[in-house]
């Protein structure tokens, strides 16, 4: 999953959080 990649870069984790909510 992309979470490992996005979590390593600062603001991108918020984007991943939004993406996770959208995907679910």
Question: Stretch 10-23: mean pLDDT, rounded?
Answer: 78
Asked if pLDDT for residue 21 goes beyond 80, the answer is: yes
| Chain-centre distance for alpha carbon 19 | 6
Higher pLDDT, 22 or 10: 22
Can you tell me the distance from the alpha carbon of 24 to that of 20, in angstroms, rounded to the nearest whole number?
A: 6
Higher pLDDT, 15 or 3: 15
Average pLDDT, the chain: 70
Asked if pLDDT for residue 3 goes beyond 70, the answer is: no
Q: How confident is the model at residue 22 (pLDDT cuts 50, 70, 90)?
A: confident
19 burial level (CB within 10 Å; 0-12, 13-18, 19+): middle
What is the pLDDT, as a whole number, of residue 20?
83
């Amino acid at each position: 999953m992309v979470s490992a990649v996005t979590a390593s870069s600062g603001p991108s984790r918020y984007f991943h959080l939004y993406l996770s909510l959208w995907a679910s």
